[in-house]
Structure 1
Amino acid sequence: MADIGRTTLILDAIAESRGSLSLSELAARTGLPRSTVHRIAQSLERELFLVRVPQRHGYALGPGLLKFGMNAHLRLLSSNRTQLAQLARTMNENVELAVFSGREVVVVDQLASPERLRGVSKVGKSFSLHASCIGMALLAHLPDRQVLGLVQQPLRRFTENTVCDTTTLLERLDRIRHSHIAVDNQEHDLGISAMATGFVGPTGALQAVSIVMPTARFADKRSAALEELQVINPAVDRSSVSF
């Protein structure tokens, strides 16, 4: 594996931990030799991509990464905001934009409807890939081998509707690859349903757009939601979607 791949493993491990990690912890999580982790961590520290946390003798993400993250974030938002605003107005429901964040999916933008859902999600909130339609919409763009490397076993059950069987999960992803639509029927939160599509956006980033609403309104609005998501992503095949 080239150094860029090893570096990515180290940065992802620290990002997913949401805290600092020691060299030994990084070696265990990435599967890399401790000496390799030490060498790369020192290089990242010199560029301020990592900083030391003295209390734990570990490393955390540093300020050197901010310029990359902020630039990418602003480009992503500006390229999608007009369409998302139109979608939120048309559907009168919350609309969210999400991207991969390591082994999770994170909401990077949200446009709230007048009947705003409170306490369900917010910008910066992350979700498990297998238990959200935004996560499934993104996973469908990856081969099964890579999917199995991203979804952590055992799969966490959030509600009685959460799919936790790997075989069933892969079968669902195969259907999503044909329809380009993923549906969440109270799989992450009871009383909340959503529909999402994943695609490569104007910035070249793989992203997912979802329409989120109370389950009580979903049956009446799902056909309209499907039509609107096809406007966002012309690859959507409405005839392949089953509810």
Structure 2
Amino acid sequence: MTDAGDRHGPHSVINRVLAVLATFEGTPGSLTVAGIAQRADLPVSTTYRIVASLEEWGALRKGSDGRYQIGFRLWSLGQQAGRRLRDRAHPFLQDLFDLTQENVHLAIRDGLHSLYVDKVYNSRKLPVVSRIGGRLPLHATAVGRVLLAAQPDWFVDAYLARELESPTPNTVTDPAVLARVIADVRREGFSVTYEQMRLGAISLAAPIVYQEETVASVALVFDIGQAGEVDRLRPAVKGTADKIGRAMRGGSAGAVLRRVSPPTSDRFSSDEKPGLHGAGPG
């Protein structure tokens, strides 16, 4: 029997399934069916049927406590996104980690966020808030500021006109100040953030350029007590970004980069310019 809520056709069903999966974005733990229904704004009965189907397929898995998490099949499928980019970049990220012994990140732009596609880290080092597949605000991260600086002026203006997130008390949200910061990143070719995303942390990032476009960004994250090390570490970060860019020019990774980032649900306004939230890193 067809659910009465599905009478609008298959697109309605697909939208509901996507709404259920979207509830797990940014969720650190597991969710109950009731919690999923509330987040997805769906009836519990409808949610229960969707969750059961997703569990059967492997997109979700049920824990012993009756709560649900993303399933291994969906996780495995998601790992295919950006795989060729990671394959090209990862040896250089590992080299940077070996050289500095600091946490290393690789990110692309996904709409209004930095999407983290790879990282190399030491569990004994400073804990970091990013995770592979995680998304953080562009203005609050060094990789994000690099990616934001690569966008056209109209994009930056529209981004800064939003109500900006403030992950820490030190996060800069003043549009005028951020506009000057972005101008500095464009001029200097790197970004340094102090306690913008996490208290006690510094991030140092540089752009990865392919065919004259910034397609990704690489960064180190280290303790605020090492602020005096920024100038010493900057050439290593910049050199790593340049090496990744050269490795990409040696193959077809650039075409893949434009398919790495999935469509985003972020929106500026109804009259936004075309391409603002395209799947490419732009």
TM-score w.r.t. length of structure 1: 0.65
Name 1:224's counterpart in structure 2: 232
Aligned to 2:106: 97
Q: Equivalent residues in 2 for 1:73-88 (5 A)?
A: 73-88=82-97
**Shift in alpha-carbon separation, 1:173–1:205, aligned structure 2, 3 A:** closer
Tell me what 1:18 maps to. Answer: none
- Classify the secondary structure of the residue corresponding to 1:105: strand
- Provide the C-alpha distance between the structure 2 equivalents of 1:123 and 1:229, rounded to a whole number of angstroms: 19
2:177 maps to what in 1?
168
1:181–1:148 distance in 2 versus 1, CA, 3 Å: same
- Rate the CA distance shift 1:77–1:140 in 2: closer, same or farther, 3 A: same
User: What amino acid is the match of 1:168?
Assistant: V
Structure with the greater alpha carbon radius of gyration:
2
Q: CA deviation at 1:184?
A: 0.7
Equivalence for 1:42: 11
CA RMSD of aligned residues (A): 3.7
Cα separation, 1, equivalents of 2:154 and 2:13: 30
Separation of aligned partners in 2, 1:51 and 1:113:
34
Aligned to 2:118: 109
Indicate how the Cα distance of structure 1 residues 140 and 112 shifts in structure 2: closer, same or farther if over 3 A, else same: same
Could you tell me whether the CA contact under 8 Å between 1:93 and 1:115 is conserved in 2?
A: no
- Work out whether 1:127 is the aligned partner of 2:136: yes
Q: Secondary structure at the match of 1:138?
A: helix
- Distance in 2 between residues matched to 1:51 and 1:190, nearest whole Å: 34
3-state secondary structure, aligned to 1:72? coil
Distance of 2:209 and 2:13 partners within structure 1: 29
Q: Distance in 2 between matches of 1:147 and 1:190?
A: 25
Partner-residue secondary structure (3-state), 1:206: strand
Superposition TM-score, scaled by structure 2 size: 0.57
**2:147/2:214 contact within 8 Å kept:** no
Whether contact under 8 Å (1:162, 1:188) holds in the other structure is yes
- The separation in 1 between residues aligned to 2:158 and 2:126, in whole angstroms, is 33
**Residue deviations 1:140-199 (CA, integer Å, cap 9, x gap):** 100121123345622223334321111211111111111110111111211101100122
Report 1 or 2 for greater relative contact order, CA contacts < 8 Å, sequence distance ≥ 6.
2
Mapping of 1:1-243 within 5 angstroms?
A: 42=11, 45=14, 51=18, 56=42, 70-113=79-122, 115-151=124-160, 153-200=162-209, 206-219=215-228, 221-234=229-242
8 Å CA contact retained: 1:180, 1:198: yes
> What is the CA–CA distance in structure 1 between the aligned matches of 2:143 and 2:13, rounded to whole Å?
32
Equivalent AA in structure 2 for residue 42 of structure 1: H
Query: Residues 225 and 189 (structure 1 numbering): CA distance in 2 closer, same or farther, change over 3 Å?
Result: same
Partner secondary structure for residue 122 of structure 2: coil
> How many residues are aligned here?
192
Deviation at 1:67, TM superposition (A): 9.7
Q: State how far apart, in whole Å, the 1-side matches of 2:232 and 2:179 are.
A: 27
Runs of at least 5 residues in structure 2 that lack an aligned partner in the other structure = 21-36, 60-73, 244-282
